[in-house]
Amino acid sequence: MKTRVIIFFGLLVLIAAIFISACKKNDVQPGEPHNPTYIDLTIPAGWPTPTSDIFANNKLTEEGFQLGKKLFYDGKLSKDGNFPCASCHQQFAAFATFDHDFSHGFDNSFTTRNAPGLFNLAWMTKMHWDGGINHIEVQPLAPITAQNEMAETIDNVLNKLRADTEYPALFKSAFGNTDINSQRMLKALAQFMGSIISSNSKYDKVQRGEASFTATEQNGYDLFKAKCETCHKEPLFTDNSFRNTGLAVNPFLNDFGRMRITNDKNDSLKFKVPSLRNVMLTFPYAHDGRFYSIGAAIDHYRTGIITTQPTLDPLLVNRIAITNTQKNDLIYFLNTLTDTTMTKAARFAQ
């Protein structure tokens, strides 16, 4: 009797197991377990939670991150092999283009805007100076296909990746099988870019009580909170809004910023408030890189603002009064925003 019962239960368990495994969702071919290493994006203490989770439909994994990193540094994504993402987004310059107002693109061309640094993108609600990009995953489509950047087609890029000796295996470890398609490529790039967090500058250490400002830095910080904070909001040093700071229109570019996206004349000459983290590394400054030094950028607020532009930000109609001493203090403070932990991190390096 006993053995009969045991056999009976054994059978039941077997049947149940077969049913259960048969009924599992079948994303991965049977016999090929896909066990990626899931990782979490660590939100620095005291920071706001990102308004939308960029990894909600793109589970962050070590394999996805590594694939994204390889893609970011790979010239194959450009037409002639010379313009990987990293050619314009250099780690030592906080992923901006070092010392260039405009970056070099395919066939001796220039970009028409200054390349911003890439970090803390998980908090960025809209990308590009005009906010035209609404999701981190679709951003790479712009540089890859732009004639003055990487000048390639998505189709060609995918074919190059499929023909490569390494990529099929990397896509498999990230996504479960060797299929290479645009969605997977874009999601992997998003995993890499979205993971770059800058939160270990001297400023951050001061906030955490691990360091203290000098008197000059503290004066600069106080001034910053009084005059700049509304737009360059801590801890990200941007409020993600679009504003006109009263810059003259560059007649070569005729760039009216946000208006191109919204078609609303109230948005004329508005550009995204850039983060000032790592600002000492991301010169030249402004959407067209017109200011070659941080001093020149600050002087704009003191004396350069064109106050007759109808869409000028109300905060700037009287310009910003800053004495020479205060300007000096401010620069000392901005220096504390440089995060060499990020710019030297092996994890983000090629």
Binding site residues, other proteins, CB under 8 A = 5, 8-9, 12-13, 15-16, 19-20, 23-25, 54, 57-58, 128, 132-138, 141-142, 145-146, 154-155, 158, 181-183, 186-187, 190, 260-263
- What, of other proteins, ligand HEC, none, does residue 66 touch, CB below 5 to 8 Å by kind? none
Question: Which residue, among 128, 91, 112, 127, has the nearest Cα to 281 in the 3D structure?
Answer: 91
According to the binding rule CB under 6 A, does residue 60 interact with ligand HEC? no
> Which of ligand HEC, other proteins, none does 24 bind, CB closer than 5 to 8 A by kind?
other proteins
Tell which residue, 283, 251, 241, has the closest CA to residue 130.
Answer: 241
CA distances from 80 to 77, 160, 162, 196 (A): 9, 12, 17, 27
Tell me the per-residue interface mask from 174 to 193 with ligand HEC, x by CB under 6 A, - otherwise. Answer: ---------------x---x
Candidate ranges 19-27, 41-49, 143-151, 260-268; the one touching ligand HEC (CB under 6 A): 143-151
CB of residue 32 to other proteins, shortest distance in Å: 21
Q: Which residue, 140 or 176, has its beta carbon nearer to ligand HEC?
A: 140
Alpha helices by DSSP H, 228-276: 259-262
Place of tokens 């009287």: 318
* Residue closer to ligand HEC (CB basis): 177 or 235: 235
Nearer to other proteins, 143 or 284 (CB): 143
245 is a contact residue toward ligand HEC (CB under 6 A): yes
Shortest approach of ligand HEC to residue 247 CB, angstroms? Answer: 5
Reading the block at residue 252, the tokens are 């070569």
Closest CA to 86 of 101, 99, 76, 97: 97
**Minimum Å distance from CB 74 to other proteins?**
18
Residue found by looking up tokens 């710019």 in the block: 343
Q: Where are the alpha helices (DSSP H) in 196-248?
A: 202-207, 215-227
CA nearest to 73, candidates 165, 183, 180, 188: 188
Asked whether 50 and 123 are in contact (CB, 8 A), the reply is yes
Q: Point out which residues bind ligand HEC (CB under 6 A).
A: 72, 77, 83, 85, 87-89, 103, 105, 111, 113, 115-116, 118, 121, 127-129, 139-140, 143-144, 149-150, 189, 193, 227-228, 230-232, 243, 245, 247, 271, 273-274, 276, 279, 282, 285-287, 294, 297-298, 301, 313, 315-316, 320, 330
